[in-house]
Amino acid sequence: MVLPQICARRGGKAYRYLAAFLTQQRAYASAAAEKDLVVIGGGPGGYVAAIKAGQLGLSVACVEGRGALGGTCLNVGCIPSKALLNSSHKYAEAKSHFAGYGIKVGDLSYDFSAIQKQKDTTVAGLTKGIEGLFKKNKVDYVKGWGKLVSGTEVEVAGLDGTTTRLKAKNILLATGSEVTPLPGVPIDEEKIVSSTGALALKSVPKELVVIGAGYIGLEMGSVYQRLGAKVGVVEFLDTIVPSMDSEVRRAFHRTLEKQGLRFKMNTKVTKGEVVGGRVKLTLESSKGGAVESMECDVCLVAIGRRPYTQGLGLEQLGIKKDARGRVEVDSNFRTNIPTVYAIGDIIKGPMLAHKAEEDGVAAVAYVGLTEDEAKAKGLDYKTGKFSFMANSRARAVGDTDGMVKIIAEKGTDKLLGMHIMGPNAGEMIHEGVLALEYGASAEDIARTCHGHPTLSEAVKEAALATAFGKPIHM
Ligand SMILES: Cc1cc2nc3c(=O)[nH]c(=O)nc-3n(C[C@H](O)[C@H](O)[C@H](O)COP(=O)(O)OP(=O)(O)OC[C@H]3O[C@@H](n4cnc5c(N)ncnc54)[C@H](O)[C@@H]3O)c2cc1C
Ligand SMILES: NC(=O)c1ccc[n+]([C@@H]2O[C@H](COP(=O)([O-])OP(=O)(O)OC[C@H]3O[C@@H](n4cnc5c(N)ncnc54)[C@H](O)[C@@H]3O)[C@@H](O)[C@H]2O)c1
């Protein structure tokens, strides 16, 4: 009764103030009450866990400090990089391939700020969408930086300047990762950039040097090469993307070179500085000796990522980390403090949004063992391959670079790994994921009817090659 009386006495403005005050009090009250679960970090690890907990009927809060949900992946990772890859791919297609299909486009150009805007709109739509999902699943979104005070308490330095404490039966750490810095090459996010700066450049550089031929370097290098930049890649090792199957990796390397990327292998950058608006780099052979220099407009440092646990209070609580700074967990994701759990990039395993090897570097995807791993484990294995050059759909759409490679156990024919380099690899790999999950054999895949004409027929053909030694169409 109080609220309508005050409203009647003082008019609509007071009502609005009071309603806002009560909403705030309710938020404080719900924050102060003990939650079943408090999640620190709103990336793909944390936000999915929070939603699932909400769906299971638990009371849950998710603390996120960057001002938007979705973590690295949605804000400065998977999603913006794929948006730029898509735009640059469409432009490159129009430039180099449309004429071959009889399509005339006249003077082709692009508006880079519009490309960036499209990327930003995509990101904003998705991150806002997660806020909606939080509401739907009754997850409290607490905006601020969280710090463990005990195994059941989190202190939040709110983005609005307030400090609050959340009590929880259980706490889940999902604070993700950050760029690994390269000593001597300080990142300013304008001239010497990390992936975050590379995703937000205001214009396409004339010359880009990428340090590190891993996922990020090759994705961003491809984007800017397609948009007209001269791209050089400096890699410490003698191979690109070291975790990939070596045969697939070699084919991928050749494809990237064909597209125009230039590689300097077995080389490390020891110094980088901005002089007169240009980036000057000092290079050395990774095997020692031979100092040389290189110049470019923008340099991307992409030598890996490391777990982000800064300011989280792990040390005070004695939460164990390994030598690489990753939080140690048991098979139930529990740390050495029984009420504190950890998931995602801060624990061991691949730093991938869903810890499943999905959509790889623009067009590479894999699941299970590489041939090199099968060999190292001493397994008795066999392989089968099929090139997209011999796949009718790939021929029809003019996207014939790449292959499907399958690795299976020799005696049982059981699938051990699948590797796809080529068009739509990130979508097609799920056939391999499912096959591995259910312990399928290469013959199972080979005997399964695949629609025609589809890129997926290359998977069936590679399975035929693995199970019976021969594909049909090659
Ligand atoms: C350029 C790029 C491209 C990528 N592309 C792919 C891809 O195509 N496919 C793929 O699978 N993976 C990709 N990844 C990797 C993927 O982004 C990560 O593996 C994934 O985001 C990890 O999820 P996470 O939830 O563990 O951590 P994150 O996504 O890093 O989320 C952690 C969140 O926690 C917040 N946080 C940290 N500390 C605190 C604190 N104390 N309090 C409150 N909040 C905190 C951070 O602000 C962050 O938002 C890419 C990464 C990059 C950088
Ligand atoms: N499509 C995807 O799945 C995707 C895309 C982007 C990022 N990611 C994730 O993000 C993580 C980080 O990506 P990344 O590309 O930064 O790391 P990465 O580990 O994939 O590659 C880093 C590369 O840098 C090289 N390197 C290291 N130190 C060097 C030095 N001093 N000089 C020259 N080269 C050096 C390494 O040998 C390696 O080849 C990946 O591990 C991956 O899990 C995934």
In order of their start, the domains of the chain are 1-31 (no CATH), 33-180+304-361 (3.50.50.60), 192-303 (3.50.50.60), 364-468 (3.30.390.30)
Does the Cβ of 123 fall within 6 Å of ligand 2?
no
* 6-20, 70-84, 198-212, 288-302, range with the lowest pLDDT: 6-20
- Give the angle subtended at the CA of 240 by the CAs of 235 and 243, to the nearest 5°: 120
- Cα distances from 209 to residues 56, 71, 269, in angstroms, run 48, 27, 11
Q: Which residues line ligand 1 (CB under 6 A)?
A: 40-46, 63-66, 71-73, 77-78, 81, 145-146, 174-177, 195, 216, 308, 311-312, 344-345, 351-354, 358-359
CA 129 to chain centroid, in Å, comes to 19
Catalytic hit among 430, 450, 452, 473: 452
Mutate to test the pocket of ligand 2, among 193, 209, 215, 246 (most ligand atoms within 8 A of CB): 215
Mean pLDDT in residue range 226-246: 94
E strands, 250-309, where?
A: 262-264, 267-275, 278-285, 292-296, 298-301, 305-307
Q: Which residue, 69, 58, 51, is CA-closest to 143?
A: 69
Task: Give the number of other Cβ atoms within 10 Å of residue 444's Cβ.
Answer: 16
Report the distance separating Cα 194 and Cα 237, nearest Å. 20
Q: What is the pLDDT at residue 473?
A: 75
305: tokens are: 């990522």
Catalytic-residue membership of 452: yes
Q: Which residues are annotated as a binding site for FAD?
A: 82, 146, 175-177, 345, 351-354
Q: What is the pLDDT at residue 250?
A: 92
Q: Which ligand is located closest to the Cα atom of residue 282?
A: 2
Helix (H, G, I), strand (E, B) or coil at 136: helix
Does the Cβ of 361 fall within 6 Å of ligand 2?
yes
The answer to whether the CB of 88 falls within 8 A of the CB of 229 is no
Does the Cβ of 297 fall within 6 Å of ligand 2?
no
Does the Cβ of 305 fall within 6 Å of ligand 2?
yes
Average pLDDT, the chain: 89
Q: Which residue, 299, 84, 101, 100, is CA-closest to 199?
A: 84
Report the distance separating Cα 329 and Cα 340, nearest Å. 10
E strands, 323-396, where?
A: 340-342, 364-368, 381-387
Mean pLDDT in residue range 251-259: 92
Q: Which residues are annotated as a binding site for NAD(+)?
A: 212-219, 235, 304
Decide if pLDDT at 16 tops 60: no
Q: What is the pLDDT at residue 392?
A: 85
Residues 292-328 have pLDDT tens digits of 999 999 999 999 999 999 999 999 999 999 999 999 9
227: tokens are: 């948009």
Task: Give the number of other Cβ atoms within 10 Å of residue 62's Cβ.
Answer: 28
Decide if pLDDT at 339 tops 80: yes
Does the Cβ of 357 fall within 6 Å of ligand 2?
no
The answer to whether the CB of 423 falls within 8 A of the CB of 393 is no
Q: Which ligand is located closest to the Cα atom of residue 175?
A: 1
Q: How far is the CA of 351 from the centre of ligand 1 (A)?
A: 8
Report the distance separating Cα 282 and Cα 441, nearest Å. 51
Residues 152-192 have pLDDT tens digits of 999 999 999 999 999 999 999 999 999 999 999 999 999 99
